[in-house]
Amino acid sequence: MPSITPFEAGTLDLCQHHLESLGFVCERFVFSQEGTPDVDNLFAKFGTNAPHLCFLGHLDVVPPGDSTLWTYPPFDPHISNGLLYGRGVADMKGCVASFIASLHSFIKSKSFNGSISLILTCDEEGPAINGTKKVLDHLIKRGEKFDACLVGEPSCPTYLGESLKIGRRGSLNGKVTFCGKQGHVAYPQLAHNPIPEMIGFLDQLSSIEWDQGTEHFQPTNLEITSIDVNNKAYNVIPAKIEAQFNIRFNTLHNSESLKKHIQGLTNDPDDKFQWQASGEAFYTQSETIAQILQESCHQVLGHRPTYSTTGGTSDARFIHIHCSVIEFGLVNKTIHQIDECASIDDIYKLKDVYHQFLVNYFS
- Give the count of beta carbons closer than 10 Å to the beta carbon of residue 32: 11
Cα separation, 318 vs 230, whole angstroms: 38
Cα separation, 282 vs 43, whole angstroms: 24
- How far is the CA of 94 from the CAs of 52, 191, 339, 344, 347, in angstroms? 23, 59, 15, 9, 6
What are the start-end ranges of the E strands in 144-202? 148-151, 163-165, 167-168, 170-179, 183-184
312 near 91, Cβ under 8 Å? no
Amino acid at site 82: G
- Give the count of beta carbons closer than 10 Å to the beta carbon of residue 92: 30
Q: Which residues are catalytic?
A: 60, 124
202 near 224, Cβ under 8 Å? yes
Which residues, other chains included, contact 222 with Cβ-Cβ below 8 Å and sequence gap of 6+? 205, 206, 208, 210, 245, 246, 247
